[in-house]
Amino acid sequence: MFSSLISRFSLVWKVSGVALALVSAAPAAEPAIITKARAFVGTESALEAVKSIHYTGTLVVVDGGDGTAQPPVAMDLFFHKPYQQRVEATSPKRIEVTALDGYDGWQRLQDPADPTKWQQSLLGSEQIKRLRANTWENLSFFRGLDQIGGRTEDQGPATFEGVACQKIAFIHAPAIIFYRYFELATGRLVYSETENGSGIREQGEVRVNGVRFPKTMTNSTKLPNGQTRTYTVTFDKITVNEPSAPSRFAVPPLSTK
């Protein structure tokens, strides 16, 4: 359910205009495992009632890929239907905010010790497409991709670390794909990976408003130099349907004057 954390933080967990695509052909039948996966997470009424999710927690780098230790990072992630998200990462040296507001995306870097020192930039179209896909993945609970121009593809049985699974590809665009491994017996999400080879494992459980969320998530991301960065996010609080002002996601003005 929780997709690539990297996409959300910068992660950044690309929908090339698929949200506006017209689908002339009848959508393919939904794989049966999706019904079971949704039932594992919550009842249909509980899932349909979710309009926003707010996570707060701490990110710890387990292996930075270069052997250097890094301090914990305070994480604040907010996802709101249909296509709004805000991810704020706070470390001793900087505050990084990445946000999406429909078709607008932006990033702001702030010196926590000096409010006058900051940089702000608008995200490119490819980054916005991926953030839109990421937002959908966090709020859809596996259903309805065909309604926004994407599709699911049943890739058949797969065994992951000894667990019998069904592998489903959630294809937002040719270069934006989330692969999910669902346990055949229960529908539990065992493992997720993206088209670039990054992987996510979920551990523990937190129930909010009748919906099952993970307590921790471990993300392994492939770096350009061939090494792998691994980090874990532990959630301290998860809130569903928290009120939020539009300004939370809107591009901040460059001047307060």
Q: What is the pLDDT of residues 183-232, one digit of tens each?
A: 999 999 999 999 988 999 999 999 999 999 999 999 998 888 888 889 99
Residue 205 lies in a domain: yes
Summarised one tens digit per residue, pLDDT across range 29-73 is 889 999 999 999 999 999 999 999 999 999 999 876 666 668 899
Give me the sign of the Cα torsion angle 17, 22, 24, 28.
positive
pTM of the model: 0.86
Report the pLDDT value the prediction gives residue 123, as an integer from 0 to 100: 98
Instruction: Return d(Cα 92, Cα 125) in angstroms, integer.
Output: 31
What average pLDDT does this structure show over 85-98? 96
Q: What is the number of structural domains in the chain?
A: 1
Residue 54 lies in a domain: yes
Residue 38 lies in a domain: yes
Summarised one tens digit per residue, pLDDT across range 129-156 is 999 999 999 999 999 999 999 999 999 9
Residue 216 lies in a domain: yes
Residue 255 lies in a domain: no
Residue 23 lies in a domain: no
CATH number of the structural domain spanning residue 154: 2.50.20.10
Residue 142 lies in a domain: yes
- Tell me the residue range of the domain where 139 lies: 5-15+30-246
Average pLDDT of the residues of the chain: 88
Residue 93 lies in a domain: yes
Answer whether residue 21 shows pLDDT above 50.
Answer: no
